[in-house]
Structure formats: structure tokens, C-alpha cells
Structure 1
């Protein structure tokens, strides 16, 4: 079943709703947004900026052209023509019912309506809807644009074909949809998290550990194991060669020991809330929410990229999903050059002939090369590590006049890439007429900047640029490739 969609609507744009907008936009889907909050546009812009910063570094394949974003004045305007409608309003049953009824009344007949609720039953949400068979819970995890899981839960009257279509749609968005077999409050993920959360509250309440110490226990131990194998497979390995059966026999008696307080939750009185809030402020060390989000995103990208880069040719866990998404992007989208730099020719670039002077062409091509390097991962941190690319050869052809005020774009085709060399072909085009103004063929070498010699690039960099070169190999080779000066 083809799950590709052209348009989606997001109703409610807090943290989760804005995350849905970002995932959809970067998957090439047009998105209409409705949220009456005066901060909605700012929140969406900030979350989308974070996504645009992190998602391209997550994938070795080119993303599709981004979808268009539209802020709609009403629910009816937002859902018009939408194939998927994602409701993410606050977690209040009556509010959600009111919003879902309004969505249902205006949405196209084919549209699937997904609620991002963290725990409300879909059967309760369906009350008041005329077309209740198309409602599902589609519960994601934050940040939605990076974490692939979405729990799909049908209500008592949800049509089986709705769940099947929804599974195809979310899969096409690069997600891992898990259909929960029957509805239950809080579904699966939040029930597991809630058990850990309740125990953590008791540990702080009883002064066994601080919030930082508890987080350290998680992130330096089983958190890393869970990232790739989850719970049951981790415990299977803990059983040694005898596997899960031995683990259960060895640790099964511990289930009767007082190792957890579970439902016996401490009162969240002012004193405990103050203690947790104070310790959390100390843990943040002055970092803003947006700074913490960017740190989180960087760490998630690194972990998932590591899970995708196994040498045997396939990934593990979320890394294997990335490989599948990259293959889909490479095979499903037409090969085209990278569009990297845009600008307008300023007055100070004009020479005595009335058009752009020679050395400005080289400047534009240099900026294009710099942007390409950033795109493949040669950022400030990579350069600070003592490695970069040096341009060792350039051939420029001046093909058209660029006068003051001309709007231009640059494109890049990667002709060849290996562990040390990067062979590229740039073009400057008139954005309004599409006329080619100039081209440049360049050879770059990857170098150790301290030793001043060519060395192999980092494995993840090689993988990324090789993947781009494979896509660009499907394009016609430039007719000017390999020309020498004076050649006809």
C-alpha cells in the first residue's frame, strides 16, 4: 500500500504538534496549521529550525524538496484537501472531543484523523464524531521529527482499513508504526515510562538519589542498551548462553522482593515539587530549553547514525530504519544536483563592462564549495579536529553576463568521491531565466591540516558523500566536464 500523501493538517502546535509539522514538512508534505495561540507561529518556526538543523545530518540520502507551510485561520480551512490530520491539542477529553468533531465535520472523506493523545482511549475520543471509523490514536515521541516510533491504536469503531492506511502513511514518513492490539489507557510506551517515573519520584522523595544521579544511572547504563535492543532482548542476553529461560529462572524470584514501589506513589506536595524543580534547575546549568533541545538532537543523531553504520551492510534498531529510509529516498526521487547558494548581484561586484567581474565568480563558487562541505558534515567541529578539504584544481567557464540586480542560484553535481578525493561540478544560473552564467569543475583533497598531507576522511563522511555521488551518477555527465582552456 502506497502511503505517500500530498497534504496534511496539524491542529494544535505545542511541542508535539510543532514536531509533527517539522517531520511532515521535511518529508515533502504540504502542511496547514491551525492553533489559536499567539505564540504558535514562533514555536513552529523554532522547532522547524531545529529539525532543519538535525534531520539532514541524520540521513545520507538527499531529502525531498520541503513541503509548504500555511497557517490557517480556522480548523475547516486547515483540513481542506488534507490526506492526514494530526490533532495535538491539550490533553483534556472534552476539548479533544470538541476539536475532533470540528475536524470530522470539515475533513475530506478520505482523510485519516490521528490524535497525538498520550493516554486517552480512542473509543472515548470517537464520541461525537460522525465518521468515527477513521479516527485512530497516533501517539509519537518527542522530538517527533527525529524519533521514529508512533503507536497506532484503534477504537471500538475504528475501521481495520484505517489502521492499515495509517501504517502505510506513517511508514512513508520514515517512522516505525507499532499497532497496539487493543486499546488501553496510556498504551504501551507511556505505561512503561510511568512505572519508571513513579519509582524515580520515590527515590528523590526518600533522598536515595538526586535527579542528576538518577539520570546518570539511566544514561550511562541500560539507557544505551535500550536504544538498540529494548527490554526483552537485553534480558535475553543477560541470561547468557541459556538465554531468556535462564534469565527468568535466575531473576524471577526477584519479582517478589521489595525492589520497587510501583503504584505506591509519594504525594507531589510543595516540598517534593520544590526539591525536584531546584535539582532540575541545577542540572540544566543555565542552558535554555532550545539549547537543551539542540544537545538532545545532536546526541540522537549520533546514536542513530552509529546504529546505522554497522560494517556488515545493515543497521540495527533505529539505524536499520534509517538505512531503509535512505534507500527509499534514493530510489524514489529523481536525481538532481544540489541547490546550495542563492543571492543577488550587488553593485560593488560590477566591473567597467557593466557585469560581474571575474574574481566574483570564483567567490560565488568558493561559497558554494563551503556550503557543500557543510552539507556533507565538514562543519566547524570537524575542521577543529584537524581535518578538512582543500581545493587543488579549478576550471571556470564564463558563459553569460551577470549584471547588477540579477538573482542567481548555484547547483552542484558530485562527479566522483572516494576516501580522499571529491570531484565536483558547479553551475551559476540566472534564477529568473534559468540561463547558465558560469560553470566550475573542481577537485578537492581531504587533508590532515596539521600534517599538511592528504588522508582518508572519517568513515561517516565517506558514507555520506559516496551516497550523494551514487545518486548523482544517474544524472547526465556535464558536457563541459574535463575541458581544457581553449577547447571547442
Structure 2
């Protein structure tokens, strides 16, 4: 699958900054051109939030962060890039002028995407010498977390460009959706515009406040939309008879005067001030950056919930995250790098994120188990039990775990875990893990686990293949020379 080797971003505001963060955290070097005097500060703040979000989002090994360079000219920024993302203000004349400059300075085979929210790509590519490589790549804020990109071609955009753009989004964890015909505002913003128009009328007519309206969304259909969208949600609403019954039952309602979708509200000074004041009260003193971090934490929580959905196969955005993590593990070389087997293997490095702590700011119990599980998974990858091995019908299953809590992992603390193989035979693997606080080196928790090699299709324990057993046995032989770790063999309630 083709990958983006070098990217250029023209415009570094809210959307442009999100694109920059998405590229950099995917290991892609990015050159940026933005004449705004505060561009470097704004991009830096967006990137800081993105890094915090990714630390919560996944424990998979991210590639080394790409190199960020701020260029003095547009031409300098786009030279050598194979994906160029334009994210300047939403004015046709400005975008058309910038895109024409990009077209003149970019490599002939470079892809050029526009972040426009609704302008037609045909209008944007009018003055370009190479219009076939221009397309709309409309993302959603925050770009570094929300994976969707609407891909829209103009009259002169080639089919090869569309396919290449769709393919290149996959390795950076995004999902491109091809909009078959160009239309103003595409699909997502047309839906949002309809909801936004009705919402403004409800506020203007004093039906509710902005807080009440947001509560209606986030405590009801917003939760359904987050994981099933609109049509699948309504299919369920039709009961056993499905979508046809739903349309027959609720279709007539569309003719009733329930909405003002064809009427445009007058956003006069009084209504603007009314909405502004209610929005200020709703924010309750939280800054934009604080609200962004809260939003990111909430989105990460939804991703994690959806990742475990559908019997562990993942659902919606969670399934996409699961697939993205699989590519990250594969790109990391399946952890086949050499480790010093003369000591316990240091296998996991992470930080205690806001999504991992309880009301006391301490890491919750199930997160300890998660880190220990990640440590076991890292050991398994080291001996050849990777995703391909599991998909082939074999794996190691944990059949017994004993955890001791020796200290406290707190919000923001860097931690790492080690693994010592206590014993191994053809079917069994006994390991002892320890979590340490990175700064102090203090042991925070330990876990002793017994794993069985299983044939997942047959549902029973089976001997590991010779090549796998040889690798684990070699580690076990070296670790047998180490002292038995304190706490190995203990049981719950045993006195010290």
C-alpha cells in the first residue's frame, strides 16, 4: 500500500494544525507555510494536545515523530512533497489563487488536497495546469483524532488521483469516503447545516437554551450516531420489520410542519449576543484549549468502547482504530528487535493518561491488568506469536494471573514494565511482570501469569511449534540464571 513520504501543509489554523499533527504522529515529515505571525505557537499547541490524545488512544508503538519545518515561502514548503494539504480560509478567490501557486511549484506527481468545507473542486481547479491531481480532502475537527475524510473530485480530477488519495489515508489511520458527485458542502456539512439551521431557530424562539439543546444531543441520539450513524439507527427503530416499516410509519411525518429547514434565521446582533452569552455560561470559565482536551479525552473513551465492541472485533471508529493499531504493530517489526536476555526484558513504555485514572488521580485496577497484558503480548510478538500467527489459528491464552499492588501510578507518570520468564515447556509459559515508575525506578506492581498455547479453532491446548518453543526456551534458559523475583509463587492473602 502506498504511503505518504513527505507532506506539506499550507495553512496552520485549526484544521491545518490538525492535519500537521496527524501527519507528524504518523512519522511523516511536514513542511508548513503560514504567514500568520503566531503560526508556530498555534501549531505547537495543537500538536501538544494531539500527543496527549494519542498517549491515551493507543498503546501500539507509534513511529518516530516526523520532522516539522516552517518554510518562509509556499514554494519552499511544497517542494518535494507527495501530499500537499491546503487549509487556508474559506474564500474561493483565495483558495483558487493558493492552489494555483501550489500547482506551479509542486512535483508533477504530487497529490493536492483542499480542506474546503463546501467549495466545489471543479471551481478550485479552474486555473491549474495540472488539475487532474486536485481533489477535496475534507476532514473533521480534530483532524488528528476523527478519522473521516470526504474525498471529492472535480470534473478534471483523475480516477487514479482519487484511488491514490484513498490508499494513502489508510496508513495514517484515516478513512476516506468517496463522494460520487460533487455538490456544495458535500455530505457531512449538508447534514450539519440542516441541524444547525433548526437549532438556531430553537434558540431564537426561546424554545430552549444552548445548554439544553446540547444536552438533548449528547444524552440521546448523539450517542447512537457515534456508533451506528443515521440509517442503521433507524433500521433498528423499525423493529423486526426493519427499514421499510420505519419509512412507512414515520415517512408521513416529513410533511408535517416540524422544522424550519427552508427558512433562514436572521442572525442579527441581538441573536448573536444571545447565543454568545449562553455559550459563555455553558463554558463555565473553561478555555478553548481546556475544552479541546476534554473533547479529546471523551472521544478517546468512545474509541476504546467501540474498539471492544462486536465481540472484540471492533465496531465503527473502534474497528478502524483496531485495524490502525495492527498496522502500527506490523510497522514496528513485530518487536523482533534484540533484547538483553541477561536481565528481565523491558517491553512496554507508557504514561498514565487521564482515561486511566480514578477519582483520586491514581491508575485504576483494570489498567494495571491492561499494562501486564500488553507486556505478555510484547513477549509473544518477540517469540513469533504475532497477528499473523494468531490469525492462523494459534495463540497463547492467559489462564491464571496474580497481581500485587506495591505503590501507586498517578496521572501523567511515565511507567515501564519488564518480563522475566520463570518456566516454559511445549504448552505452558510462566512469566513474572513488574511495572516501574520511570523517574524513580520504584516497583509499582507485579503480576505472575500462566499462559497456555492453544489451537483456537479446536479450542484446546496444543504444543507450540518448534520455532516458537525454541525462541521462548532460549529466553527461559537465560532467565533461569537470574534470582527468583520477590513475590513469585505468592497467593492472595499470604503473609510476608
TM-score tier by shorter-chain length is: 0.7 to 0.9
Shift of the 301–126 alpha-carbon distance from structure 1 to 2, 3 Å rule, reads same
Counterpart of 2:188 in structure 1 is 189
CA contact (8 A) 1:423 1:442 kept: no
Quote the offset at 1:310 in angstroms.
2.4
Distance 1:269 1:484 in 2: 76
Find the partner of 2:362 among 384, 388, 412.
384
Unaligned runs of 5+ in 1: 339-364, 394-409, 429-439, 448-453, 455-469
Distance 2:36 2:225 in 1: 37
Shift of the 392–477 alpha-carbon distance from structure 1 to 2, 3 Å rule, reads farther
Matched, 1:70 2:69: yes
**1:221 counterpart SS class:** helix
CA contact (8 A) 2:434 2:446 kept: no
Quote the offset at 1:332 in angstroms.
2.6
Quote the offset at 1:333 in angstroms.
2.3
Counterpart of 2:387 in structure 1 is none
CA contact (8 A) 2:18 2:46 kept: yes
Shift of the 20–416 alpha-carbon distance from structure 1 to 2, 3 Å rule, reads farther
**2:352 counterpart SS class:** helix
Shift of the 255–52 alpha-carbon distance from structure 1 to 2, 3 Å rule, reads same
Q: How does 1:84-483 map to 2 (within 5 A)?
A: 84-310=83-309, 312-336=311-335, 372=350, 374=352, 384=362, 387=365, 423=433, 444-445=445-446, 477=475, 481-483=479-481
Greater RCO between the two (CA within 8 Å, min separation 6)?
1
Distance 1:112 1:288 in 2: 36
Counterpart of 1:432 in structure 2 is none
Quote the offset at 1:384 in angstroms.
3.2
Shift of the 6–90 alpha-carbon distance from structure 1 to 2, 3 Å rule, reads same
Shift of the 482–378 alpha-carbon distance from structure 1 to 2, 3 Å rule, reads farther
Quote the offset at 1:441 in angstroms.
12
CA contact (8 A) 1:10 1:88 kept: yes
Distance 2:353 2:278 in 1: 38
Distance 1:164 1:9 in 2: 20
Counterpart of 1:484 in structure 2 is 482
User: TM-score, with normalisation over the residues of structure 2?
Assistant: 0.74
Distance 1:297 1:36 in 2: 28
Distance 1:106 1:299 in 2: 41
**1:43 counterpart SS class:** helix
Shift of the 3–77 alpha-carbon distance from structure 1 to 2, 3 Å rule, reads same
Q: What is the Cα-based RMSD across aligned positions, in Å?
A: 3.5
Shift of the 251–102 alpha-carbon distance from structure 1 to 2, 3 Å rule, reads same
Unaligned runs of 5+ in 2: 338-343, 369-403, 408-414, 423-429, 450-467, 484-496
Quote the offset at 1:170 in angstroms.
1.1
Quote the offset at 1:425 in angstroms.
9.9
Quote the offset at 1:76 in angstroms.
0.9
Distance 1:148 1:308 in 2: 14
Shift of the 316–168 alpha-carbon distance from structure 1 to 2, 3 Å rule, reads same
Aligned residues: 404
Quote the offset at 1:480 in angstroms.
6.1
Distance 2:434 2:364 in 1: 23
